[in-house]
Amino acid sequence: MNQRLPIASLIYAGNLCLASVTRLLHWVYATDGYRLTASEIDPATVRYVRRIFGLVPILYVVAGVSAWISPTVALVSFTLIPLLYVFPARQTQHLTSVLPF
């Protein structure tokens, strides 16, 4: 096994973790007091998306650490974790800056 792969995976995971924390903070800011969302947004949707966005950074840390055990597991994790952002895509219908097409 190449000894640099786990280190590279950990750095990559850290970068993705910070990006996902930023996305979570953006969501919290946008939905707090309906700053950037429609006022009729369902509070359950806000909580659901917040949970998913809060889970993603944790998963990236786990994926980065798992590279020390199995680089293949880490690479598969890095591929699958972004799919979690597809499921909360229903939140975009409530963003006031999104133009209806």
Taking the model in full, what pTM does it have? Answer: 0.80
What pLDDT is attached to residue 85? Answer: 81
What pLDDT is attached to residue 41? Answer: 83
Divide the 101 residues of the chain into consecutive groups of 10 and give the mean pLDDT of each group: 80 96 94 85 87 95 94 93 77 54 47
What pLDDT is attached to residue 101? Answer: 47
- The distance of Cα 36 from the centroid of its chain, to the nearest Å, equals 19
What pLDDT is attached to residue 99? Answer: 47
What pLDDT is attached to residue 93? Answer: 57
Other C-beta atoms within 10 Å of 28: how many?
Answer: 15
- Asked whether the CA dihedral 49, 53, 58, 63 is positive or negative, the reply is positive
